[in-house]
Amino acid sequence: MNAPILASADFAIPAEFESCFRAQRAAYLKAPEPTHAERLADLRTLGRLLKENQAAIVAAINADYGNRSAFETLFGEFFSVLDGIHNAKKRLKSWMKPRRRGVDLMTFPGARNRVIPQPLGVVGVIVPWNFPIQLSISPLVSIFAAGNRAMVKMSENSQRLAELLIETAPKYFAADKLAFFADGGGRGPAFSSLPFDHLMFTGSGATGRAVMANAARNLTPVTLELGGKSPAIVAPDFPIKTAAERILWAKTFNAGQVCLAVDHVYLPRGAESEFVAQCRKLFSKRYPDVNGPDFTSIIDQRSYDRLNAALEDARAKGATLINLAEDQKPDARMRKFAPHLVLNLTEDMELMRREIFGPILPIRLYDQPQEVVDAINAGDRPLAAYPFTRNAATRDFYISRVMSGGVAVNEPILHFAQHDLPFGGVGASGMGHYHGREGFDTFSKLRPVFQGGPFSLVQLFLQPPYSGWSKRLTDFMIKMRS
């Protein structure tokens, strides 16, 4: 039990990681199955931690961003997480119940099969910077509902929030139940190398591959929530005005720094002029001052420079750039980045080669739906697909032909807030699910339990020497199953 935790030749495991992990593992072994009442108490305490520190958390996130819309923090993080806690409390008792399964022919009446959801133990959570409360606390809802303990590592871009949570969490939870850690100094690989019972990571595909490789050293199962170039597809039957309203909201919320943001949009050829005109009108109405508190800053200078470089690359290769804030002057010192629409794209442009993660919306034109399907399927499977149509056949065509982590029809991003739907990626956009029942199952061991009856078919009829009854009965059973 006290053997040192293995480390890579490239890094050592920090003492605070190792001591916390050992304490949580020991606490789990001492009390491996929290009761329904204990799990409810943990969920309520999570809610109290958020509500009682709301102002300080909002301020810390704002400071980490430079300017983060307080409304976006409250709506996109606080409300969504608290709603998830409410849903989990309401459904927890049914999730925890043993699940009856059928009994096969090999046993006499009286035998039983059950699946018992049991806690895994200690779960690690690696959190990105873009929605640091949503993507730390929301997994904890599933983790605590399933009866586990958790260690949470925050992003290096969330230093002020990490400091606040490290100081605040012990007032609500013992360290052997929940502990937060700051990043910095290359501590991420060490964290993902701990022998967790499950590890959840949200972030980029490149980092996700490294996390998975580190976890593999301990055969730690992983849930990876990555990103990808999630497309919106506007069908000819759908009103362009409505599509522009909803897509622009999804592209400017958190300044487009959302893993589920509409990365690019497919429009029917000829609809681009109306779409551009609607977006111009909408942006000036929604954000009369791009430097005001409602429009969020880009997280850091590196990301700001990357977005500028991607625009310049597109311009140099012949794209048409449309600045939606052309009558304003975004403050570069605050890393306010003017939203842009981009037309006349080519496949060699940087905007088409990687996830944008900012307020830039490429517009691709199509004539036939199969063109869209072929273009999307030529790349990695996205985290989400967003068909806009009122025609059921068109909707089902895209759902059938384009594989993605999730689908939201006519309303991007908000499927994430549907707590009774599983959330997760597929292929390059991730693996595994959480939220609701699926989140509870992800962080549980669904343990199969077979209980034999008073009489055994094997003992009565299938013992050696294998002749007579044994052979005849086996031949009969095979015949009945062929």
Q: Annotated catalytic residue: which of 259, 272, 279, 355?
A: 259
Would you give the distance in Å from CA 458 to the centre of its chain?
47
Whether 20 is a known active-site residue: answer no
For the chain, what's the residue count?
482
The contacts of residue 423 (CB under 8 Å, 6+ apart) are 225, 405, 406, 415, 416, 433, 434, 435, 438
Q: Which of 456, 381, 465, 364 is nearest to 425 (CA)?
A: 381
Residue 118 has phi, psi (to 5 degrees) of -130, 150
- CA-CA distance, 176 to 248, in Å (whole number)? 44
Whether 225 is a known active-site residue: answer yes
Q: Annotated catalytic residue: which of 72, 77, 225, 355?
A: 225
Query: Looking at the annotation, which residues are catalytic?
Result: 225, 259
